[in-house]
A and B are shown apart, each in its own frame.
Chain A
Amino acid sequence: MTATTTTPLSTAPVPAVRRPSARLRAWSTRAPLLPALIFMIAVTQLPFVATLVISFFDWNALYPDARRFTGFDNYHQVLTDADLRRSVGTTVLLTAAVVIASLVLGLALALLLDRRFRGRGVVRTLLIAPFLVVPVAAALLWKHVLYNPEYGLFNGLLHYVGGPQPDWISHTPLLAVEASLVWQWTPFMMLILLAGLQSRDPEQIEAARVDGASDWQIFRHLTLPHLRRYLELGALLGSIYIVQNFDAVFTITSGGLGTANLPYTVYQSFYQAHENGLASAAGVLVVIGSLVIATLALRVVSSLFREEVSRA
């Protein structure tokens, strides 16, 4: 179906209403869309414009009278500040590690769940559950109940096998945050990849099997190419969500021990240091960084979408 101004509907006779002019009709088609569109522009686009403007000012909220235009000074400061640069590195590392680990695990789980076995529905439900724990609650669970060096579950289980009793969060802070996020995001990846697996053409696989292809050959040459776009989509959507992660960093380490990512740094620079200009410049940089991922993501979504539309 292609996009046209006159859908079949508008040609249907509408009793008791005189045929309106083409222009009026176009507006009556548009009208239902406008509230949502205007709302989105007002609430999501205007703040970005404001952020951009504020990023060019030297503005500490505690000294509002000293506010002045400084051009690119804030950007210079953000890009040369050691802490902020480290937080850029942390963001990249955190996002990449979590996305890759949960994609690999998610793929393995999706492959396991794609086959019939007793209790498949129950296992699927068990696997989705971590994603349905409120993120702050999940972070608290990992911080206090699992990682606690004295009576956390991990050290408790290690105790049984006579293993060491590490202080997980102090020794490997970033890994501790990443592990909790992988636990929450693997189900997400699994669900997307499972949907991909189930949209394969069963006849094609059957034909390959009849021709004597092994399981590995089918996976390598049929399943994986088919899954490519689902893997891309999972990676991109995961990146978009995890780049923005605040809850886990805030809860598990409070941004300490080198785990402060960009959202946490932006939060801190304005909430605790009251540096409005700096926070905005950092915010703009986060947006620019995300644009690359977002553009790629939009391309993948649109290719999947076009396929859906042409199939319909």
Chain B
Amino acid sequence: MTATTVRRGGLGLLAWLAGIVFFLPIAWMALTSFHSEADAATNPPSFTAAFTLDGYREFFGTGGGASPWPALLNSAVASVASTLLVLLLALPAAYALSIRRVRKWTDVLFFFLSTKMLPAVAGLLPVYLFAKNAGMLDNIWLLVVLYTSMNLPIAVWMMQSFLAEVPVAVIEAAQIDGARLPTVLARVVAPIALPGIAATSLICFIFSWNELLFARVLTGVVAETAPVFLTGFITSQGLFLAKVCAASLVVSLPVLAAGFAAQDKLVQGLSLGAVK
């Protein structure tokens, strides 16, 4: 065994160690969520305590307290509906910015990007006042519209770069063969762009699901989303660690699933399409 292989092995070990350290809080959260409240609140920590589903039962409200289901459902509606709306608006826009390009298409792209760079909190008050006057407070569809505007720039950027990968020559050939536009889109463009569109949707879903500030200000009892529901756990309520862990894990599961599914395209989405 040479010195280089030893060093290589050492660095691999270091990488493993770093991965475990970063993952430890999540692993600990999962473990605690399956412990009883008494076992969860010990010092030193009890790693090997008996498993129970009490934390989850408590969270889902069978032990009294508000049920999280309406909030989870609201989050699902807000995230899925806004993602669909984003697709509806972003796909034609991306088409006009990549395949059949408008003049000054780069300027248009950068306009979309610039809207993402201004802090959303600055628009919070007018949105609140508008919602109040229009009777839209505590209405999940208001969040759908806002989340669409938050994610549209990301989606336009990502899809623009995916559609740009469709070779123009192939589209032309199809058209010369007499294919109409819908056929071209369905048979030529869609198969190449579909994985990218899927990844874009997952990323838009994650951002909508995570959002707290607007949901907190604009919703109440009816339209509250899962993150707003979680803010109920900010102040300590006696022994409740297992319940907090169960709640945090349940609310994070859709995002963890979507994120791992979109892993390869995650960077591209987060960097607004700048990095492939």
Instruction: Give the B-binding residues of A (Cβ under 8 A).
Output: 3-5, 7-10, 12-15, 26, 29-33, 35-37, 39-40, 43-48, 50-51, 54, 108-109, 112-113, 115, 117-120, 122-138, 140-146, 148, 150-151, 153, 155-157, 159-160, 183, 186-188, 191-192, 194-196, 199, 230, 233, 237, 240, 243-244, 246-247, 250-251, 254, 262-263, 266-267, 270-271, 276, 279-280, 283-284, 286-287, 290-291, 293-294, 297-298, 300-302, 304-305, 308, 312
B124 touches A7 (CB 8 A): no
Chain A residues with CB under 8 A of B172: 8-9, 12
Chain A residues with CB under 8 A of B168: 7-9
B125 touches A51 (CB 8 A): yes
Partner of B178 from the list A15, A35, A43, A294 (CB cut-off 8 Å) is A15
- Within B84-104, the residues touching A (CB, 8 Å) are 89-90, 92-93, 95-97, 99-104
Q: How far is the CB of A228 from chain B (nearest CB, A)?
A: 13
B193 part of interface (Cβ distance < 8 Å):
no
Q: How far is the CA of A32 from the CA of B16 in the complex (A)?
A: 48
Q: List 10 A-B contacts (CB under 8 A).
A: A9-B175, A40-B153, A50-B130, A122-B19, A134-B251, A148-B241, A192-B270, A283-B124, A301-B271, A305-B109
B231 part of interface (Cβ distance < 8 Å):
yes
A112 touches B14 (CB 8 A): yes
Partner of A145 from the list B90, B100, B244, B260 (CB cut-off 8 Å) is B244
Q: How far is the CA of A189 from the CA of B240 in the complex (A)?
A: 33
A3 touches B106 (CB 8 A): yes
Residue of B nearest to A61 (CB): B129
Nearest 7 CB-CB pairs, A to B? A117-B12, A32-B92, A47-B123, A137-B248, A50-B126, A294-B117, A283-B122
Chain A residues with CB under 8 A of B41: 150-151
Chain B residues with CB under 8 A of A40: 111-112, 115, 149, 152-153
Q: How far is the CB of A105 from chain B (nearest CB, A)?
A: 9
Chain B residues with CB under 8 A of A155: 43
B171 touches A9 (CB 8 A): yes
Partner of B89 from the list A4, A13, A39, A124 (CB cut-off 8 Å) is A39
Chain A residues with CB under 8 A of B275: 192, 195-196, 230, 233, 304
B196 part of interface (Cβ distance < 8 Å):
no
A267 touches B127 (CB 8 A): no
On chain B, which size bracket covers the interface? 35 or more
Chain A residues with CB under 8 A of B44: 156, 159-160
Chain B residues with CB under 8 A of A244: 119-121
Chain B residues with CB under 8 A of A145: 25, 28-29, 32, 241, 244-245
Residue of B nearest to A30 (CB): B102
User: Which residue of B16, B92, B168, B275 has the most chain A CB atoms within 10 A of its CB atom?
Assistant: B275
B125 touches A134 (CB 8 A): no
B 113-157 to A, binary, CB cutoff 8 A, 1 in contact else 0: 111111111111111111000000000000001101100110010
Q: How far is the CA of A142 from the CA of B271 in the complex (A)?
A: 26
Q: How far is the CB of A125 from chain B (nearest CB, A)?
A: 7
The secondary-structure label for the interface of chain A is helix
Chain B residues with CB under 8 A of A186: 22
Q: How far is the CA of A94 from the CA of B147 in the complex (A)?
A: 26
Residue of A nearest to B237 (CB): A144
Given contacts A145-B29, A151-B241, contact A109 B175 (CB under 8 A): no
- Within B242-262, the residues touching A (CB, 8 Å) are 244-245, 247-249, 251-252, 255-256, 258-260
A129 touches B92 (CB 8 A): no
Given contacts A39-B152, A127-B19, A246-B121, contact A134 B171 (CB under 8 A): no
Chain A residues with CB under 8 A of B234: 140, 143, 250-251, 254
B274 touches A47 (CB 8 A): no
Chain A residues with CB under 8 A of B263: 124-125, 128
Chain B residues with CB under 8 A of A233: 271, 274-275
Given contacts A129-B256, A312-B164, contact A142 B25 (CB under 8 A): yes
Q: How far is the CB of A240 from chain B (nearest CB, A)?
A: 6
Given contacts A29-B96, A32-B95, A233-B274, contact A250 B122 (CB under 8 A): no
Q: How far is the CA of A138 from the CA of B171 in the complex (A)?
A: 46
A37 touches B108 (CB 8 A): yes
B231 touches A250 (CB 8 A): yes
B260 touches A153 (CB 8 A): no
Residue of B nearest to A46 (CB): B126
Q: How far is the CA of A108 from the CA of B17 in the complex (A)?
A: 13
B213 part of interface (Cβ distance < 8 Å):
yes
Chain B residues with CB under 8 A of A138: 248
